[in-house]
Copies of this chain bind each other. A is one copy, B any other.
Amino acid sequence: MIWSPPAYAWPAGKQAAACFSVDVDADAPYLWATRNGRSNTLAVPEHRSYGMRRGMARLVNLLDRLNIKGSFFVPGGVAEANPDLLPGLLERGHEIALHGYGHELVNDISDQEFTEALEQSIELFVKQTGQRPAGFRSPAWEMTPHMLAELGRLGLWDSSLMGDDVPYTLQDISEIPVRWDIDDAIYFKFLGAGEAPPRSHLEIGAVWHSEAQAALRHGTLFMMTIHDWICTRPARIEMLEALWRPIVENDGFWCATCGALAAHHTRHVEDSHTPNDQGIS
Contacts and interface: CB of A to CB of B under 8 A. Distances in A.
Given A207-B202, A234-B220, A235-B211, A162 B47 contact: yes
Nearest to A168: B53
Contact of A234 (B54, B214, B234): B214
Contact of A2 (B52, B197, B198, B217): B52
A163 B48 CA distance: 7
A88 B4 CA distance: 11
Interface in A84-115: 84-85, 88, 106-107
Contacts of A234: 165, 211, 214-215, 217-218, 220
A42 interface: yes
A233 interface: yes
A140 B191 CA distance: 11
A263 interface: no
A60 interface: yes
A1 B52 contact: yes
Nearest to A51: B1
A257 to B, nearest CB: 20
A196 interface: yes
Contact of A235 (B85, B168, B201, B210): B210
Given A3-B57, A49-B280, A50-B165, 15 more contacts: A2-B57, A3-B84, A4-B57, A45-B280, A47-B161, A47-B163, A49-B163, A50-B163, A53-B163, A140-B192, A165-B234, A200-B207, A203-B203, A214-B238, A218-B234
24 contacts: A1-B82, A2-B52, A3-B56, A3-B60, A5-B53, A41-B107, A42-B280, A43-B142, A43-B162, A45-B280, A46-B163, A49-B163, A50-B163, A50-B164, A53-B168, A179-B233, A186-B190, A186-B197, A187-B197, A196-B196, A200-B207, A203-B203, A215-B234, A217-B238
